[in-house]
Amino acid sequence: MKLPVFALALILTLALAAGAAPPASAKLPPLRDPVFLNIGFVCQWRDRCIERQRSAMKRSLSYVAKHRPPAWKIQLCNRNASRSRDRVDWIGYDHCIRNPRLVRAAPRTARR
């Protein structure tokens, strides 16, 4: 049994379209959202890692809004969380900001 030319063309077109289409999980980087862009670079665009970073970001921001930690603690945690290539690791920040054992460093004395 021979298929008509139209049917063969339709089958070929569908096969090429299915093979050329990116998977549904592939996403383009959102260039207009700097927070998500940062998280994407940190996670190398892996979905599970992005979800964990976003969750940690939401937890830590709500913690800061509710508990109002001192400025020195926020600055310390920001420095610690951004030690890798100027990108913020929100999971590390969340752990740091919630750490009750952190104490303010003693002021530095001037050396001569």
Asked whether residue 19 is assigned to any structural domain, the reply reads: no
Where in the sequence is the domain holding 69, given as residue range(s)? 27-98
Total of domains in the chain: 1
Evaluate whether residue 8 is within a structural domain. Answer: no
pLDDT in tens, 54-99: 999 999 999 999 999 999 999 999 888 887 665 678 999 999 999 9
- The arithmetic mean of pLDDT across residues 49-57, rounded, is 93
Among residues 25, 61, 20, the alpha carbon closest in space to that of 45 is found at 25
Looking at the domain assignment, is residue 6 inside a domain?
A: no
Give the pLDDT confidence score for residue 75 in this predicted structure: 92
On whether residue 1 sits in a domain, the answer given is: no
In a domain, 57, yes or no: yes
Q: Is 81 part of any domain?
A: yes
Residue at 35 is within a domain: yes
Going by pLDDT thresholds of 50, 70 and 90, the confidence category of residue 52 is very high
pTM of model > 0.75: no
Backbone angles phi, psi at 98, to 5 degrees: -90, -5
Angle between the N-to-C axes of helices 34-43 and 47-67, in degrees from 0 to 180, rounded to the nearest 10: 130
Q: How confident is the model at residue 21 (pLDDT cuts 50, 70, 90)?
A: very low
Q: Is residue 108 part of a domain?
A: no
- How many Å apart are CA 101 and CA 75, to the nearest integer? 16
